[in-house]
Amino acid sequence: MKLVITDVSVLFDLFHIKILSEFFALDFEIYITVFVYDEIVNQEQIKEFEEFRQTGKLIVLDLSQEEEEQVINFKTKRNLKSIPDKTMLWKAIQLNCPLLTCDAKLRKEAIDNGIEVHGSIWVLLALEKEKLIEKQRMIALLEQIKFVNNRLPMVEIDKIMKRLKENE
């Protein structure tokens, strides 16, 4: 099982296209820091994420007072102001695990720190690779995600959709 730490942007994308169950079916141990988890404020989202937390599929990492101080004092090249973002990056470095995020600044900072970084599209490709979603559904999900998060790489999404349609 591969350990990953995620932010809410990826989780929100997956929530909106209704594939959280498939995501949590992947062979990953999925972590989120308590600071990031606390960013979930929509009641419908809280209810669904809490179900995955209760079943142990989403592991919320608490930080000790000492760890919180280390995060606050953690220097980054891009001056990350968001404590939740800093906790994810700091924890990914501590655990030496991939980080899932759609945030460009956090992505660049993680790469500079030698952290493997992926986003929502990578998750969809992992689901396709593991045959947790079929080709037709994958195409539909890619169409959906374009409307859910307009900051995603549209050219890459279109290339994937073209590949899927050509291989039908």
Alpha carbons 166 and 112: distance in angstroms, whole number: 36
How many CA atoms lie less than 13 Å away from 27 in the CB half-sphere?
5
Sequence-ordered alpha helix ranges (H) in 17-75: 20-25, 34-37, 43-54, 65-73
Residue 168 above 80 pLDDT?
no
Q: Is the pTM of this model over 0.85?
A: yes
Q: What is the fold of 2-120?
A: Rossmann fold (3.40.50)
Per-residue pLDDT tens digits for 5-35: 999 999 999 999 999 999 999 999 999 999 9
Q: Locate 155 and state its tokens.
A: 């050219």
- Taking the domains of the chain in order of start, what are their residue ranges? 2-120, 121-166
